[in-house]
Structure 1
Amino acid sequence: MRDRAVPRRYHSVDEALTSLGTVTASASGSWTATNILPVGGLAAGQSLRTMSTTAASGTIIGFNAGTTTRLSRDMYNASGVITRPATPPAAAPGTPPAYGRPTARTVPITPTPTYITVNSSSDPDTSQSTTCATAPGGVCTLRRAVVQARALPADQRPALISFNLPTSDPGYNATLKTWLITLSSLSSNQLRSLDGGQITIDGSTQPGGRTSGPKIFVRGKNTQSILVVNGNANIISGLGLQGFGIQVNEGGNFVETNWLGLSEDGQTIYYIDGSSVADNKATIQDAETPPAKTGENVYRNNVVVGSTATALTIRSDDSWVVGNRVGTRPDGTLPVGAAQICGSTWVAGGGVSIYGRGTQIGGPSDAERNYIVGTGIPSPNATTTQPLALQLEGGDYLVLNNFIGRTVAGTDVGVCGEGIRLSADFSLIQDNVIVAPANSAMNMLPGVIAGSSNSFRGNLIIGSSSPIVFGPTIDDTYAFFNPAKITKIDGTAVSGTSGDPGIPPGGAAPVDSTCPFCTVEVFLDDGDTQVETLQSLGTARANVSGAWTFTLPRELAAGEGLRTISTTNNYGTIMTYEAGTSTRISAALYQPGSLPSSDNMVYLPMIRR
């Protein structure tokens, strides 16, 4: 047998770099090679390997003479056998970093105030200095109580304007058991602003009366803002306001359990002088939070209906909009029949507009859910742009568990305009019901920076003509990024991949929709022509290649199918967009035995508004 010695360097690859010669082994297989090493011997890091060739047939059973072996696995130097370096493991794909999402925050507890007591529904003058303490005969009106409260020094605050009107008061309604304060001066209905902070006006302090709604109603009509709240830690609660709204200019305030724009019985919309074509001014608004100041206003359990403007316009930061009913009666029903809704005479008003950053709209409990139903304005022109149910303009929002277009009783009435118009970023839109038959359920309008990292999770979109659409300022790389694709449904086992490349109109380049590590949400839909998400069945996490699996809670019934939404977990999965950015709903309805392919899949048109 003839052996060949070859030198190599230490690393994990088997190599024969140079042949140093051959030697013939003895009959016992031993051998010695001389004068084959380089001058000076092996250098640092060098070693020897061998390879043998047989000289007789059968030395390797079944093989003839001249058969050569493999290269020796062992390496040798003057010290003997060298331990073979371990092959380094292949690099594993990295786990995506966690990214922050808004979470529900505890609503602050209402502070306990002290009292200035209104005992008359009259409004005899518009004096800006007469207080309840200085009024003739001890007559304490709402106007005088406000003048007195705003003038209190800090050591006498907080102050509560409470009510104790007798049933003999001219403003008392014995049938409804309510009291009506009419701001009678036509020249100036405006009350003095609530200045200095820590002032409460609470209609529920009125003894007796009904328990099914506000006992105290205040009626005014003026182009001026009648009730303006300045300062912090003010509370407006338990009032029925007719002909005007509430303006809040600073932070840390509570506006809760008020009716705006309703008759005293809560069954019909209140119109100024009975004119349904005039704005009834039933609105709640606040101001932008200045730098280095806090917002954190609470708007809770209010009923607002009938204004041609937006019912709630919240510009402050880190506020709460929870438990409100917009466009409905206090019991959640609508003040007209279903046939009149969104008609030429229907006035429910606008919905909710949120600016600033960090505001929470809705919450995890039923009590924190906002109902925004039937919002619309009268117009004989069918092309009139109807008001938005919910407009989001800033960012860092939590929009959770709201019913848009669904009543308290669970009836899907819808809204007359868009469900949600989203021009925000870094927000979580979760577990909402959106019924918007005439318009898009969600309209994405921002550009590259705004609109990033908006996550959709568990939202039910029902009966919308366009479920999720993208405005003209949205880049094609997002607008046409396809959600996950389902490739197999076998009983309850579902598997899929990243979506097919999106195809923008006009011959633009296809949009790569590869989605590694993305979260895939699977929805149930029926077989009608509308793209809906009738039930969220859960989520799956894709692997590095975008492949994923999911187990259904049950097998699909006849006519049922699945749709998907994908949410990225890495920056740049959708070009220039942050982790947490969700796609549109899959246009394809995936059903067992009839999975659409990318060649014959029918896509809804992307509506660019």
Structure 2
Amino acid sequence: MPQMHYPEDRTGRRSLWVTLITVLVFVVGFIAHTSSRAQAPSLQHQEPVGKPSQATTVIVVDTSEDLDSSSTRKTCTYTSGAIFVPATDGCTLRRAILEAAARPPADRPIEIRFNLADDDPNKDREVSGTWTLPINAALPTLRTQSILDKTGDVTIDGSTQPGGRTDGPPIILATNDRSLEIESTGNTIRHLAFKGGGAIFLKEDGNTVEQIWMGLSDDGTSIVFRTPAQPNRMAGGGIFITSNDNLVQNNIIAGAFARAINIDGSRTNNTIQNNLIGTRADGTVPEVPVAAQCLRSLSLDPQNWYGGWGIALSGSNNRLIGNRIAGLHIIQSLNDTPPIAIEIFGSGHEVRDNVIGIDSADNPVGVCGQGIKVSGSNTQIVDNLITGSRAGFEDDESSAILASDTSPTFGQITVRRNLIERGPGRVYAFGPGIPAVLRTFQPARVTSVAGTTVRGTSGLDSPCPGCLIDLYSDNGDEIAETLSYLGEALADETGAFTVTLSAPLQAGVGLRTSSTTQSAGVIGNYLSGTTTQVSKLYLPLSELSITGPVTGTAGMTYTFVFELEPLGATAPYTYTATVTDVAEPVTLVTASSTVTVTYSWPTSGTKTIGVNVANELSEVTATHTIDITGTVIPDDEWRVYLPLVSR
């Protein structure tokens, strides 16, 4: 300590001040010591471990054992009359939580830290740098002692453990299916692993849960079932929110028996972001044999991956942002609902930038149920990516995003810029409970594609003045997809629009549209921000081929095949054939891209078959010649047949 210097002519006054200061320090120290026995932290037991703490009170867990798990009185350092007394054999997590709940407002914020010994019997059970804490009875509720002031301000941080691993939670709770219930506000729970079931219940506002593992083995590579003899109980786990203004981020939950994250009731302003649901700790999902994928059975299949359920939102004005959900599957009967990736109820939610069905290694592993299922009103579903979703058996519409609601308050659901790959059928559709005025309303229609210029107008019998038109690309296979987002345009008062693409469409690539109203009353009584279903594929014809013989004999019948490209070009097609020796062109309207016809000529010579095929975007032509030789047949003895087969 630096030496203090006093002026020589104030020696007597200096001595008096020293005496007074000494007395004052003694009195304050005595008062502090006395009050600490009642409510303040004992500083000699509360030294922070690792980084400095900003907490008023620091409680350090120093043993992994769950000692006296039935006691509701023993704390780590805190005394309050005969109600709470400090234990003499160590600070357990149970005692730390009980103490944090018991301390008065003056002792907050509180931080629960960890300083478990290197020779602790539960160190490195499976993975180096971890300590396993068995939970032998229900944990104390993290609350306050007053119903009038529920300010918790408690942080439980597993990363404070010295020597703990940094690629996963160093503190592993062997929960025995016991949960952590939080009934105070402003708390933070981070860097813990829940193994063997158990959940986190957020019953009061303003809490943060982050960097938590649930349902995984210590190394994060497999799912641990909470009751091995009853695998249908899955791994348990989950974060259940019955309060407002909470933040749940950067957690990993796999094998959830119920929703992995669930916002229940009329809760508002919660944010669920950047979580991994259904995956291993690194965000990947192991490869599953094709024959076993999404197989519904009550028997455990060791070669399968049971990622559990997804996320559900209720209430209002909640946000679901940037989560990755992949590998969802459960042990289930044929009649059980497959796990849904995202379920939305209520109003005013924002669901964006979520990735469904693709793991962190970009493998399209899919999910075994609906991608997004929405009801309610005034919700934004934008910029999500869904790959390999499936429809629930009870859904009449097979769609990656399904609106299903029978409430008269349904509406104002905005669905834009979502990319869908390998879906169950459609991109965005409405269930039978949605009124026909919206369910059958047709999205914008593309009328021409010329280079990079796309023009269109309102859908058939569905005027949409001033609507916002979104364009997507898709190929011509049988599955409706939105493989890339190509741009938007605001339709004029007649519904007409023009979009300039960044580059011409590649061969075999077409367009799909959706329309979002910008004012009320455009679609029935629905308000602005209501998005239609996604359109059929608008794909121009690129080529027509005619195959058949090039030589023949008069009077004989020959077969020719007209075939259109690309596969999946917009139907229907109008075929018009002009044939030598046939007085009038023959027309056929069909949805088939392949037509088979037969012809016979009575005279020799070079015969020409000329065919024109048009759809609503384009037309193509082709010709074919055949040299006919042989005897002339009287006119009344020959026929021309068109078509013979259409498929």
Q: Same fold (TM over 0.5)?
A: yes
Pairs within 5 Å for 1:384-403: 384-403=336-355
Pairs within 5 Å for 1:136-147: 136-147=87-98
| Greater Cα shift, 484-493 or 129-138 | 129-138
Q: Distance in 2 between matches of 1:403 and 1:451?
A: 25
How many angstroms does 1:226 deviate by?
Answer: 2.5
Asked if structure 2 preserves the Cα contact closer than 8 Å seen for 1:240 and 1:258, the reply is: yes
| Greater Cα shift, 399-408 or 190-199 | 190-199
Aligned to 2:530: 581
Asked if structure 2 preserves the Cα contact closer than 8 Å seen for 1:448 and 1:475, the reply is: no
Cα deviation, 1:314-349, whole Å, max 9, x if unaligned, reads 133111000100000121111563544423434211
Q: Distance in 2 between matches of 1:194 and 1:219?
A: 22
Asked if structure 2 preserves the Cα contact closer than 8 Å seen for 1:588 and 1:596, the reply is: no
Q: Is residue 2:128 matched to residue 1:179? A: no
Cα deviation, 1:71-101, whole Å, max 9, x if unaligned, reads xxxxxxxxxxxxxxxxxxxxxxxxxxxxxxx
Q: Secondary structure at the match of 2:272?
A: strand
Cα deviation, 1:378-398, whole Å, max 9, x if unaligned, reads 1353x5320211001011111
Q: Is residue 2:181 matched to residue 1:221? A: no
Q: Is residue 2:243 matched to residue 1:322? A: no
Aligned to 2:607: none
Which of 226, 234, 237 matches 1:282? 237
Q: Is residue 2:426 matched to residue 1:477? A: no
One-letter amino acid matched to 1:300? Q
Which of 98, 102, 126 matches 1:151? 102
Q: Is residue 2:68 matched to residue 1:117? A: no
Query: Over alpha carbons, which structure has the higher Rg?
Result: 1
Q: Secondary structure at the match of 1:145?
A: helix
Q: Secondary structure at the match of 1:204?
A: helix
Which of 191, 214, 234 matches 1:238? 191
User: Aligned in 2, Cα 1:257/1:171: closer, same or farther, shift over 3 Å?
Assistant: same
Q: Which has the higher helix share?
A: 2
Q: Distance in 2 between matches of 1:469 and 1:336?
A: 30
Q: Distance in 1 between matches of 2:97 and 2:371?
A: 39
One-letter amino acid matched to 2:402? N
Q: Is residue 2:116 matched to residue 1:165? A: yes
How many angstroms does 1:306 deviate by?
Answer: 0.8
Asked if structure 1 preserves the Cα contact closer than 8 Å seen for 2:347 and 2:376, the reply is: yes
Q: CA RMSD in A?
A: 2.1
User: Aligned in 2, Cα 1:448/1:592: closer, same or farther, shift over 3 Å?
Assistant: farther
Aligned to 2:219: 265
Aligned to 1:313: 262
One-letter amino acid matched to 2:189? I
Asked if structure 1 preserves the Cα contact closer than 8 Å seen for 2:232 and 2:330, the reply is: no
Q: Give TM-score, length-normalised by structure 2.
A: 0.69
Q: Give TM-score, length-normalised by structure 1.
A: 0.73
Pairs within 5 Å for 1:41-120: 113=55, 114-120=57-63
Cα deviation, 1:215-250, whole Å, max 9, x if unaligned, reads 00111224xx52100111011111001121101101
Q: Distance in 1 between matches of 2:383 and 2:289?
A: 26
How many angstroms does 1:570 deviate by?
Answer: 0.9
Which of 506, 525, 534 matches 1:557? 506
Pairs within 5 Å for 1:444-593: 444-447=403-406, 449-466=408-425, 467-501=427-461, 513-591=462-540
Unaligned runs of at least 5 residues, structure 2:
1-52, 78-84, 145-149, 392-398, 543-568, 575-588, 592-647
Q: Is residue 2:307 matched to residue 1:358? A: no
Q: Secondary structure at the match of 1:143?
A: helix
Asked if structure 2 preserves the Cα contact closer than 8 Å seen for 1:489 and 1:592, the reply is: no
Asked if structure 2 preserves the Cα contact closer than 8 Å seen for 1:341 and 1:374, the reply is: no
Aligned to 1:128: 72
Q: Distance in 2 between matches of 1:380 and 1:590?
A: 41
Q: Distance in 1 between matches of 2:54 and 2:463?
A: 56
Q: Distance in 1 between matches of 2:532 and 2:121?
A: 60
Q: Distance in 1 between matches of 2:363 and 2:540?
A: 28
Q: Distance in 1 between matches of 2:410 and 2:128?
A: 49
Q: Secondary structure at the match of 2:537?
A: coil
Asked if structure 1 preserves the Cα contact closer than 8 Å seen for 2:357 and 2:389, the reply is: no
Asked if structure 1 preserves the Cα contact closer than 8 Å seen for 2:64 and 2:133, the reply is: yes
Aligned to 1:347: 306
One-letter amino acid matched to 2:237? A
Q: Is residue 2:376 matched to residue 1:431? A: no
Cα deviation, 1:329-379, whole Å, max 9, x if unaligned, reads 1211115635444234342111000011111111xxxxxx20011212113
Aligned to 1:421: 373
User: Aligned in 2, Cα 1:518/1:173: closer, same or farther, shift over 3 Å?
Assistant: same
Aligned to 1:249: 203
How many angstroms does 1:154 deviate by?
Answer: 0.5
Q: Distance in 1 between matches of 2:336 and 2:455?
A: 45
Q: Distance in 2 between matches of 1:297 and 1:138?
A: 36
Q: Secondary structure at the match of 1:427?
A: strand
User: Aligned in 2, Cα 1:338/1:179: closer, same or farther, shift over 3 Å?
Assistant: farther
User: Aligned in 2, Cα 1:447/1:573: closer, same or farther, shift over 3 Å?
Assistant: farther
Q: Distance in 1 between matches of 2:378 and 2:227?
A: 45
Unaligned runs of at least 5 residues, structure 1:
1-110, 290-294, 363-368, 502-512, 603-609
Asked if structure 1 preserves the Cα contact closer than 8 Å seen for 2:346 and 2:375, the reply is: yes
Asked if structure 1 preserves the Cα contact closer than 8 Å seen for 2:464 and 2:495, the reply is: yes
User: Aligned in 2, Cα 1:331/1:338: closer, same or farther, shift over 3 Å?
Assistant: farther
Q: Distance in 2 between matches of 1:298 and 1:325?
A: 15
Asked if structure 1 preserves the Cα contact closer than 8 Å seen for 2:227 and 2:234, the reply is: no
Cα deviation, 1:266-289, whole Å, max 9, x if unaligned, reads 1111112434232432111011x4
Aligned to 1:65: none
Cα deviation, 1:538-568, whole Å, max 9, x if unaligned, reads 1011000000111111111111101001101
Q: Is residue 2:155 matched to residue 1:200? A: yes
Q: Distance in 2 between matches of 1:436 and 1:425?
A: 26
User: Aligned in 2, Cα 1:232/1:338: closer, same or farther, shift over 3 Å?
Assistant: farther
Q: Distance in 2 between matches of 1:217 and 1:394?
A: 35
Asked if structure 2 preserves the Cα contact closer than 8 Å seen for 1:444 and 1:451, the reply is: no
Asked if structure 1 preserves the Cα contact closer than 8 Å seen for 2:411 and 2:526, the reply is: yes
How many angstroms does 1:469 deviate by?
Answer: 2.5
Q: Distance in 2 between matches of 1:173 and 1:385?
A: 39
Cα deviation, 1:396-455, whole Å, max 9, x if unaligned, reads 111111001111122211110101110131111111001244223111012464331111
Asked if structure 2 preserves the Cα contact closer than 8 Å seen for 1:401 and 1:432, the reply is: yes
Asked if structure 2 preserves the Cα contact closer than 8 Å seen for 1:218 and 1:239, the reply is: yes
User: Which structure is richer in relative contact order (CA contacts within 8 A, separation 6 or more)?
Assistant: 1
One-letter amino acid matched to 2:463? T
Q: Secondary structure at the match of 1:221?
A: coil
Aligned to 1:210: 165
Q: Secondary structure at the match of 1:481?
A: coil
Q: Distance in 2 between matches of 1:373 and 1:476?
A: 33
Q: Distance in 1 between matches of 2:166 and 2:318?
A: 31
User: Aligned in 2, Cα 1:304/1:164: closer, same or farther, shift over 3 Å?
Assistant: same
User: Aligned in 2, Cα 1:297/1:421: closer, same or farther, shift over 3 Å?
Assistant: same
Q: Distance in 2 between matches of 1:598 and 1:152?
A: 78
One-letter amino acid matched to 1:239? L
How many angstroms does 1:598 deviate by?
Answer: 11
